[in-house]
Amino acid sequence: MKTKVVKISADDKAEKYEEAVLYLKTDNVVGIPTETVYGLAGNAFSELAVKRIFEAKGRPQDNPLIVHISEFSEIYDLVSEVPSVAEMLAKEFWPGPLTMILPKSEKIPFCVTAGLDSVAVRCPSHPVARKLIKNCGLPLAAPSANISGKPSPTKAIHVFKDLDGKIPLIIDGGESEEGVESTVISLCTPVPKLLRPGNVTLTELQRVLGNVLVDDAVLNPLKEGEKVSSPGMKYKHYSPDAQVVILKGSYSDFCSYVNERKTENTYAMVFDDEGDGLNVEFFSYGKKNDYRSLSNKLFDILRELDEKGAKQCFVRCPDDNSDDLAVLNRLLRAAAFRVIDLGDGV
Ligand code: AMP
Ligand code: MG
């Protein structure tokens, strides 16, 4: 199959979307831009389309998909119950990078939810994604458009590199603004539970909901035999081929540690304005303590490490305050939870 890439911008008219709409209406899958990361979209009501999503990504069958809608009113087709907290969250954060888990309706096939009675729903803010959903008149199931296990795609070229020949069409809507996947919150538990941190932060959720639990899997590896609330958390994720190691501690200790272990293929990821004193090639991945800036280039850099043939990469550790949870969560998985504490200091 030949994979075509088409640039579409927010101002483009409906005709520009026709090819993608036709593919989606006929159970085919299309790579689409969203403000979090690129998605691999298919009709959420079609078992065939959903099967094609899983096949193209090589996604494990027990990892459910997020269903995307273009406005709140479309939620009623997907879920059996809309609690008032869902309305409150939507009012505050939709369209945007927040996914809510709610009891599923009968219209949603179990292949979307990996057999669960709940479904994940999100209304993205990317204008091209929303226009596409509107023009199709269908909710779109869309996981990140990468080969399972690889860093999520934040540019159309990332999708092309992973899925060339496996899907008919990719819409290039520019670089994803957020750069990390959506925050996932379950509203099926007595107290709402954060399953995956994203750029709608825990603090923002607490402001609307009051008490919010944080799933253990957010910052900890799963224990043997442990039951997961969010099946996606149990898989190796976001991994470049290089061995990633997170270093906690001061910048000067970071430099000493990395310089001592320098080999030909050693790289570093540091905060903006750092890099002096390092004897290895480095990437600046964003402003220290600014989670939106740190999340923005994260996956792009993880992919670039592979392109450069990196063997190891040492990363400055973001804080574990609630706003930085998304970046830390993704880095911990990219590093397979390899964290070294170099001691006190800033
Ligand atoms: P992705 O779309 O690849 O970013 O992954 C979607 C994430 O949402 C995964 O971590 C899934 O496990 C999670 N998810 C989707 N549906 C559900 C659900 N019904 N219950 C719990 N987690 C879900
Ligand atoms: Mg994913």
CATH of the domain at 144: 3.90.870.10
The CATH number covering residue 317 comes to: 3.40.50.11030
Q: How many domains does the chain have?
A: 2
Most informative mutation of 37, 59, 66, 194 for ligand 1 (most atoms within 8 A of CB): 66
Alpha helices in 58-188 (DSSP H): 84-93, 110-113, 127-136, 156-163
Six-digit token pair at 178? 């957020």
- Asked whether 144 lines ligand 1 (CB < 6 A), one says yes
Q: What separation, in Å, do the N-terminal and C-terminal C-alpha atoms of the chain show?
A: 52
**CA 328 / ligand 2 centre spacing (Å):** 16
Supply 50's token pair: 């959903």
| Domain that residue 66 falls in | 4-218
- Say which DSSP state 223 is in: P
Ligand 2 centroid to 277 CA: how many Å?
36
> What pLDDT score was predicted for residue 227?
73
* 168 and 291 both lie in a single domain: no
Answer whether residue 280 is part of any domain: yes
Query: 173 and 277 share a domain?
Result: no
Task: Verify that 59 and 198 share a domain, yes or no.
Answer: yes
* Dihedral class, residue 96 (left if φ above 0, else alpha if ψ from -120 to 50, else beta): left
Q: What predicted TM-score, i.e. pTM, was given to this entire model?
A: 0.94
Same domain, 55 and 150: yes
- Give the number of other Cβ atoms within 10 Å of residue 59's Cβ: 22
Same domain as 135, residue 25: yes
pLDDT value of residue 323:
75
Residue appearing with tokens 């795609």: 153
Do 45 and 111 share a structural domain? yes
Phi-psi map region of 238: left, alpha, beta (phi>0 left; psi -120 to 50 alpha): left
Co-location of 294 and 155 in the same domain:
no
Can you give the pLDDT at residue 236?
Answer: 63
**Domain for residue 230, yes or no?**
no
Nearest ligand 1 atom, CA 196: 10
Q: What is the pLDDT of residue 322?
A: 65
Tell me if 108 CB under 6 Å of ligand 1: no
The DSSP H or E segment spanning 213 is strand 213-214
DSSP 188: S
Report the chain (346 residues): mean pLDDT per 10 consecutive residues.
96 96 98 98 98 96 96 98 97 98 98 97 98 98 95 97 98 97 97 96 96 91 75 71 94 97 94 96 94 92 94 91 83 92 73
Determine whether 304 is exposed, middle or buried from the number of CB atoms within 10 Å of its CB (0-12, 13-18, 19+): middle
Whether 43 and 171 map to the same domain: the answer is yes
